[in-house]
Structure 1
Amino acid sequence: MRFGQCDYISVVFLCKSILLLLNAANFVAIVILSRGNCGLSGCITRYLISMNVTDLLVIITAVILNRISGIYFPGSFLSITPLCSLSIALTYAARVSSVWLTVMFTFDRFVAICCQKLKIKYCTEKTAAVVIGTVCVLGCLTNIPWYFIHEPIYVVDNVPWYCRLKDIRYTSLFWTAYDWFDRLLTPCAPFLLILLFNALTVRHILAASRARRRLRTDKGRENQTDPEMESRRKSIISLFTISGSFILLWMTYVIQFLHVRITDDYNIKSFSDPKFILQESGNMLQLLSSCTNTFIYAAIQKKFREELKNALHCPMKHITEIIIPRK
């Protein structure tokens, strides 16, 4: 089965629910975060902007260039094999970059909370820019092979059309190894790293909280508000919500991959085949993971909500003034 083939229900759900509602939200989040009025450090802001940009690229490449063009605009220039292969490679590159930026954001917060000495040198805007650039470059380089594994379904007037996987994809030792490498790179290794960093962060915070509580008790301040602990609590909520949503939404994809490799059964009989339903559900949920961060920010960041309200209020105010001019 070629990449991007799915039934009508899956396409409608993806296009209506994800693209129309959430793709615009990612763009709005990029604009709001770029203004730098959300009360976040420059380091965090760069990570969040880069995560939203790569998430937006995932939706553009995976949904617009791959699924929508294939279903609603068959035979367009995007269906020419070189462009089809390029869009698939770009989809994988954007996905890997998005996932590993989430990992690096988690690691950055781990350093900021647990490693005070390293924090001064590592948690800076310059380091964040270097890390983001490195992740994106490596994400593109490691997914170049996907461009060369596809062949045309048919050729008309010397023009190759559409993409399907070459038979060597299932017989070559190199491609078998590369397929395992790709799945370990995204999302198996990120799963383990995010869980590890979060576990270490929780352990450190619990220990620091107990020590700080004892200190405040000794000084008779146990009933007073602690700004430091409140700041840590908000950071942890943000970190755990972002990384937790990533793990939950990628879980089905991982289960589907492990099931196929353990059973060694790649055949899909029809759209009602449970293997096909599991595969498309995993694809749908991992695409959804590229759209959730904006809603997470809106739920837990007060200043982000305020900026979002201002961004929505200003255009509406101007429109109202045009429609109903002041007397």
Structure 2
Amino acid sequence: MYWNLAMMDCNNTTLDLNIGVNDCYVTTTGWNGLTMLQTVRTFDGNGKTMGRGFIEMLNYLSATFYRKPLRSRIRMALRMMQFIYYPILAIIAVPTNIVTIVILSQKKCGLSRCVSHYLVAMAISDLLVIIFELILRHIPFVYLEQHHFLEGIPVCNIHAVLLYAATDCSVWFTVTFTFDRFVAICCPNLRSKYCNVKTAAVVLATVTGLSCLKNIFWYFLFSHRYYVRSRPWLCWVKNVLKFSSVWGAIEFCHYVLTPGVAFIPILLLNVLTVRHIAVTNRSRRRLHQQSNKKGTKDPEMKSRKNSIILLFLISGNFVLLWSASMVYSINWRMKHLGYESVYLPLFVMEMAYMLQMLSCCTNTVIYVITHPKFREHLKNIVYYPFTPIVKCIKH
């Protein structure tokens, strides 16, 4: 199917756009009567692009910018941003998560061993999501000129299982960390029994096992071939399954559980923690006033304040950056089941994926902000390669 459009610019240059399913040709006729035919990239629903590169997309966007609806302009601008955003994010996210794992594994940041276990697990899961989701899924679809060869690689169902299992671990490790901090702050009777290394190891191993077990069904529902024509599917799905109520229920539950259901305990536990801290702080202030120690600092309140800042930043960052992905995924699945309540344009999907990927490298920034000892170790790692050079210059 083709559409023929004709436009006149300020120089009386006629642009005849013949836009097809797989290609887009821009025919330019100028004052000299010469006709130039240029291939411009087009986009499908999977982030796939064909053509010669970023410059062609920029030319195409500038030539047709005012003729396109706002939704199309926003989506095309986001696609162009992904050419720069995704590689930079991968370059930053991989080393920062590796450095975070190394620093927290040394247990020299002033954190308890229990907290360190949770934070290391979260960093490992974020690193796996970056590898399986960003590097092996989004970047190839954005950058490769002809990526139909992906359909011939028989590993898509394995890729899907690893990707979704890593994503589930990343989400539910955040939930378990939130619950651990809730017990440590609000339940002093259970603190010694629950907030220890052994319990943390058991909880993290259980979450990992359940995440792998939950997502193993993708291996049987997906085919081994990559599906590069539409999102959010990653692999080929038979039409018999794709539009069946069973498949719809399974996929709907998948998107609701991760991260929809995870939002509920995170928000509930944070509210209960804030309430408990407000009540406790008022009681401790009254005790300090009665003991005439206004000038002294309460170490317990200071420690609790640092824990709360770390907890709220991690939880808030997770909820904020995952919300768009959850809303669009559930709405998209409901639409295919015949229940579309709100229309969401496709650029919401692009923004959701970009924000979701960003959430996998922001925890390191949070640790830098909240913990001076982590900053110190990070500086030492950054300066370490330059130490021999500095010593040579001094000598």
TM over 0.5: yes
Q: 2:361 aligned with 1:291, yes or no?
A: yes
1:107-126 residue pairs with structure 2 within 5 A? 107-126=179-198
Larger helix share, 1 or 2: 1
Shift of 1:101: 0.1
Label 1:290 to 1:169 Cα distance change in 2 as closer, same or farther (>3 A).
farther
Task: Provide, for residues 145-166 of structure 1, a one-character-per-residue CA deviation record: whole Å limited to 9, x for no partner.
Answer: 2223334479xxxxxxx94333
Shift of 1:102: 0.2
Label 1:62 to 1:211 Cα distance change in 2 as closer, same or farther (>3 A).
same
CA contact (8 A) 2:222 2:237 kept: yes
Q: 2:203 aligned with 1:131, yes or no?
A: yes
1:1-327 residue pairs with structure 2 within 5 A? 5-6=47-48, 8-9=79-80, 11-72=82-143, 79-151=151-223, 152=225, 163-261=235-333, 263-264=335-336, 275-321=345-391, 324=392, 327=395
TM-score, with length taken from structure 2: 0.73
TM-score, with length taken from structure 1: 0.87
Higher-Rg member (1/2) = 2
CA contact (8 A) 2:114 2:200 kept: yes
Shift of 1:81: 4.3
Letter in 1 for 2:134: V
- Structure 1 gaps of 5+ residues are 155-161, 267-272
Shift of 1:10: 5.1
Label 1:35 to 1:3 Cα distance change in 2 as closer, same or farther (>3 A).
farther
Greater RCO, CA 8 A, separation 6+: 1
Q: Give me the whole-angstrom Cα distance separating, in 1, the residues matched to 2:250 and 2:45.
A: 17
Q: Give me the whole-angstrom Cα distance separating, in 2, the residues matched to 1:123 and 1:45.
A: 11
Task: Provide, for residues 161-189 of structure 1, a one-character-per-residue CA deviation record: whole Å limited to 9, x for no partner.
Answer: x9433323432222111112111211111
Label 1:92 to 1:4 Cα distance change in 2 as closer, same or farther (>3 A).
farther
Identity of aligned pairs, percent?
43
Letter in 1 for 2:371: Q
What CA RMSD, in Å, does the superposition of the two structures yield over aligned residues?
Answer: 2.6
Label 1:94 to 1:77 Cα distance change in 2 as closer, same or farther (>3 A).
farther
Q: Give me the whole-angstrom Cα distance separating, in 1, the residues matched to 2:156 and 2:190.
A: 44
CA contact (8 A) 1:59 1:287 kept: yes
Q: Give me the whole-angstrom Cα distance separating, in 1, the residues matched to 2:44 and 2:212.
A: 21
CA contact (8 A) 1:2 1:165 kept: no
- Structure 2 gaps of 5+ residues are 1-42, 50-78, 228-233
Q: Give me the whole-angstrom Cα distance separating, in 2, the residues matched to 1:242 and 1:120.
A: 23
SS in 2 for 1:316: helix
